[in-house]
Amino acid sequence: MSGDQPFGETSEAGGAITVSPDPKKWRKRRARVPQRLRPAWDYLVVPAEVPEQFNQSVSELAARLKSENAEVAKAVLAEAEAIYAEPQERIESAERRATTLQGTVAIAASLAIAGGSLLTDTKIQGQGWRSLLALALLAFVICLTGCAVRAVGVTLRIFHFEEPGPKRIFERAGIEREEEALVHRAAELLRAAGVADEIGRVKVGLLRSAGWWFRLALLTLTLLTALVAAYVICGPR
């Protein structure tokens, strides 16, 4: 999983998370963008927002999950583990698909290179035909580039994850009652799940955008193929 790092400045249990999972330098860059240009920046970069789900301190979440029954606390912990695992699986799935898409784009790029060599071949006669083929090839390359940029963003984009447990395991060890320790662990998992859910939203959004660009590349490839066929059938001999 790319960017699997502690949440840094927001990993303490003292309060709600107030910053996005994006690295600090990216948040500063976004803050310097003029307000009128912010939508364009957000479209290109796709920043992560401050998590909304389970965005409370561990103590507050534990208080809401509190139970006097150890069996109930175990059931709550099991459900929290499932909630925590779901965005992790979504992130991994998005990264696997994006990796596959990157390989597909690399193969398609070889077709673009072949198309470029075709245009530079003097066997294609007529400036009109050459212009049409060049524009179609340019559109194909632009779509491939958009797909590649989005797909690479899924796999290489760095985020800060909330790590449940490592810094507070000694605190849990000091809890005498079993049910309190269990809900404390459940609270940590839920808080971390809220952060992972926001990261998963960004990665899945980037993957969908990559898929949109790839579908557009297929359409331009169809157009390019149709133009080549038209040239062979109707072009100058």
> What percent of the chain is predicted at pLDDT more than 70?
88
pLDDT of 82 reads: 94
Contacts of 88 (CB under 8 A, 6+ apart): 1, 196, 200
CA torsion, ordered 59, 64, 68, 74, to nearest 10 deg: -90
pLDDT digits (tens, 9 = 90+) for 76-130: 999 999 999 999 999 999 999 999 999 988 888 887 777 677 666 656 777 787 7
pLDDT of 87 reads: 93
Closest CA to 193 of 92, 94, 85: 85
10-23 burial, b at 16+ Cβ within 10 Å, e below that, comes to: bbebeeebeebbbb
Residue 94's Cβ-count burial label (10 Å; 0-12, 13-18, 19+) is buried
At 189, which amino acid appears? L
Q: Is 160 helix (H, G, I), strand (E, B) or coil?
A: strand
The pLDDT mean for the chain works out to 84
- In the chain the beta strands, taken as DSSP E runs, fall at none
pLDDT of 166 reads: 66
Taking residues 58-83, what's their average pLDDT? 89
Residue 154 has pLDDT above 90, yes or no: yes
Neighbours of 204 (CB within 10 A): 18
Q: Is 5 helix (H, G, I), strand (E, B) or coil?
A: strand
**Opening angle at CA 148, ends 143 and 149, nearest 5:** 100
Contacts of 212 (CB under 8 A, 6+ apart): none
Q: What does each C-alpha distance from 136 to 148, 188, 224 come to in angstroms?
A: 18, 53, 5
Confidence of residue 17 (pLDDT cuts 50, 70, 90): confident
pLDDT of 211 reads: 93
Confidence of residue 10 (pLDDT cuts 50, 70, 90): very low
pLDDT of 119 reads: 65
pLDDT digits (tens, 9 = 90+) for 179-233: 888 888 899 999 999 999 999 999 999 999 999 999 999 999 899 888 888 887 8
Q: Is 87 helix (H, G, I), strand (E, B) or coil?
A: helix
User: Which residues are paired to 160 by β-bridges?
Assistant: 5
- How far apart (Å, rounded) are the C-alpha atoms in residues 7 and 1? 15
Output the six-digit token pair for 182. Answer: 């269990």
pLDDT of 56 reads: 87
Which of 9-18, 57-66, 125-134 has the highest mean predicted lDDT (pLDDT)?
A: 57-66
pLDDT of 8 reads: 41
